[in-house]
Amino acid sequence: MRLRSTLLCLTLLPLAAQASPPANTEVLVDLLAIPGSAGLGAIQRVGYTPYRGAAVSRDLVPLYMYEGKQVFLHATRVGWKLTDQPASGFDVFLDYRYEGFPIDQTPAVLAGMAKRNAGVDVGAGYRHRAGWGNIDAELLHDANNTSHGTEWRLGYNVDLQAGRLHLRPNLTVARRSANLNNYYYGVPLSEATALRPAYMPGAGTDWTLGLYAYYEMTQRWRLLAGIGVNKQDADVRRSPIVEDKMQVSALVGAAYDFGSHKPYSEPGLPLHVRVYGGRETACNFLPAVTFRCGSTRTQDDTRIWGFDIGRPLIEKVNNWPLDFVAYVGLLAIDERGIQPDGLQLNAQIKAYYYGFPWSAAVRTRVGFGAGFSMAQRVPLTEVRDQARRGRNTSRLLNYLDPSLDFSVGDLLGSKRLKETYLGIGVSHRSGIFGSSQLLGNINGGSNYFYGYLETKL
């Protein structure tokens, strides 16, 4: 059972991405997260890939985290707690699988083979926490018909502390099905060559040994680190496309803990409701945000309409005029009959600053949100833009939401409308400069200017 609370980690260092199993971010996050806290951080992954002739993997891993009483978001994992006991519990989840062929600099041994894609697993987990250590047992199965594979995982770790240094050694044993290993590391007869004979490794057992740590630099700042060594099953290592060696991977980063906050489901917390509408812009993100570009004249003239619902995570951080709010929203895209319209699910944590000299008269907020965006289908503006540059598209991308608004109640002299805001913003999807395997290594995205009305209920 996860005993931890809110953590938001956004990786900031862009790196060239290639597929390889990472050091276990779930173990690191569970060690770092503190009950009743909210935070923001940065983490990067580096590791060897299992494929013969592949370069070292360097990947940007956007890690957004939230843990409530029942729902949790752990980096690439989102789930539902079936029980909520201090020492043990069960949960179900969806998790991203970091496996597949390298996207950049594909090694010669894989030439001519169909691409093996990363997958999404549906899983169930059991957690037990005790003084002698922690037990994690999980069952995962392919959820999007990528490999049709299944994996059982059993992990043991123990928590150690020396002053400000927190350590967690971890051992994980994974039993992988034949479908899983054959998809990622097999060579079917149709793809065999003289230098790459047909081969199917079948089911096997992998072992991973890891060490994860964080160091408390201050009351709020933590340095993060993790290293893992993975030994694949002997039959997998005999595959003609696999390098017969252990895979080493590492995680490094930092995080800031904003401190205790009220439980997300606590009665009496205000509900933020926002409705908005807008139009596509050809302006790039930075010129749009800095008001150096404001044109909505585009070839497609697509439109958006949507709503967001949010709860405050923490208000007046360190007594500053700074709030953090978590939002989930649904956005509809009007593609003007050029392609079918689509829906878009956005999840973000947004910071609001309102410490301007005139805010006592008319409260003015500058907001900046960051999170994920999952589109029902790739928006037309992204399809056309990426096609012109010969690049891929992705339904899942990073989401940024800068905004500027003012209190309607302050402007009209109405106390009843003081917590109602009218404003403008930019709805931005991007792949973070093609540096994230999770986001499909997309270099590009879309921007929409919008106007909105938000109130607290």
Is 45 contained in some domain? Answer: yes
Half-sphere exposure of 389 (CA within 13 A, CB side): 13
Same domain, 163 and 27: yes
Residues 206 and 286 reside in one and the same domain: no
Cα–Cα distances in angstroms (integers) from residue 35 to residues 137, 257, 259, in the given order: 22, 11, 9
Distance CA 73, CA 63 (A): 9
For residues 161 and 302, membership in a common domain is answered with: no
Pick from 260, 284, 307: which residue ends a domain?
260
Q: Give the pLDDT of residue 21.
A: 47
Within-domain flag for 352 = yes
Report d(CA 329, CA 309) in Å as an integer: 6
Q: Are residues 279 and 190 in the same domain?
A: no
Q: 44 has which bridge partners? A: 60, 252
Residue 265 domain flag: no
As to burial, measured by CB atoms within 10 angstroms (0-12 exposed, 13-18 middle, 19+ buried), residue 197 is: exposed
Given a contact cutoff of 8 angstroms between Cβ atoms, the answer to whether 111 and 193 are in contact is no
Q: Are residues 199 and 308 in the same domain?
A: no
In the prediction, which pLDDT does 205 show? 97
Q: Which residues contact 179 (CB under 8 A, 6 or more apart)?
A: 142, 147, 148, 149, 150
Let me know if residue 267 belongs to a domain: no
| CA atoms of 250 and 22, how far apart (whole Å) | 7
223 C-beta neighbours (distance < 10 Å), count: 16
Q: Are residues 308 and 411 in the same domain?
A: yes
Q: What is the CATH number of the domain that holds 386?
A: 2.40.160.20
CATH of the domain at 165: 2.40.160.40
Q: Give the DSSP letter string of 179-190.
A: HHHHHHH-B-GG
User: Are 318 and 214 in a shared domain?
Assistant: no
The answer to whether 18 and 54 have CB atoms below 8 angstroms apart is: yes
Question: Which pair of tokens denotes residue 403?
Answer: 């905004």
For residue 231, the enclosing domain spans 8-260
- Number of neighbouring beta carbons within 10 Å of residue 316: 10
Residues contacting 290, CB < 8 A, separation 6+: none
Same domain flag for 440 and 322 = yes
Same domain, 118 and 244: yes
Residue 433 belongs to a domain: yes
> 321 and 239 share a domain?
no
Q: What is the pLDDT of residue 347?
A: 87
Helix, strand, or coil (residue 388): helix
Tens digit of pLDDT at every position of the chain (457 positions): 433 333 333 333 333 333 444 456 777 777 776 655 566 777 788 888 899 988 777 776 666 667 667 777 776 788 888 987 778 889 999 888 888 888 767 899 999 999 898 888 999 999 998 989 999 999 999 998 899 999 999 999 999 999 999 999 999 999 999 999 999 999 999 999 999 999 999 999 999 999 999 999 987 788 888 999 999 999 999 999 999 998 888 888 887 776 555 554 455 678 999 999 999 998 988 888 888 898 888 888 999 999 999 988 778 877 899 988 889 999 999 999 999 999 999 988 899 999 999 999 999 999 999 888 888 888 998 888 877 777 777 788 888 999 999 999 999 999 999 999 999 999 999 876 554 555 555 566 789 999 999 999 9
Q: What is the pLDDT of residue 338?
A: 93
Same domain, 332 and 399: yes
Q: Structurally, how many domains does the chain consist of? A: 2
> Is residue 349 in some structural domain?
yes
Q: Which of 221, 237, 260 is the last residue of a domain?
A: 260
Helix (H) or strand (E) holding 286: helix 285-289
Residue 16 domain-assigned? yes
CA 380/CA 392 separation, integer angstroms: 13
d(CA 208, CA 98): 15
Do the domain assignments include residue 1?
no
Show which of 236, 260, 284 is a domain's final residue. 260
**Residues 63, 107: one domain?**
yes
Residue 300, helix vs strand vs coil: coil
78-117 b/e with 16+ CB inside 10 Å = b? bbebeeeeeeebbbebbbbbbbbbbbeebbebbeebeebb
Tokens describing residue 446: 């879309």
